[in-house]
Amino acid sequence: MPVQLRNNPRRRDNRVVFPVLNLSIGGNRLTTLNWSYTGVLLCWPGAQPICGERIAGFFNPPPGAGDDETGAFDAIVVRTDPPRNQVALSMHRGSDQAYRILEMTLRRALRANW
């Protein structure tokens, strides 16, 4: 499947719909609905966090990456949508490994299309 972007002129960054990112927050393993280098939109199980709340988690390497090191990040909840079970997080701080995982995920998807 080719890389899929969602462009919105009101946003600073395009959103990547595919490939998805795998995250761990608390005891939950989550998959992105869309993401950029500055934030993620997630389907959130259970009770949703409050806007403004700080969330810590880990990006997990893409399957088959040959690297099992997770990338730590801190984010802030910027939007919740309880009827859809969605939560938007704005990246506050990410480790070097977190950004390597974002890059690696996108690069692997692009190479698969060549």
Confidence at residue 23, expressed as pLDDT on a 0 to 100 scale: 94
Q: What is the pLDDT of residues 50-104, one digit of tens each?
A: 999 999 999 998 776 667 789 999 999 999 999 999 999 999 999 999 999 988 8
**Banded model confidence at residue 113, pLDDT cuts 50, 70, 90:** low
Confidence at residue 110, expressed as pLDDT on a 0 to 100 scale: 81
Concatenate the DSSP letters of all residues of 29-86 into one string: EEEEEEEETTEEEEE--SSPPPTT-EEEEEEEPPTT-S----EEEEEEEEEEEGGGTE
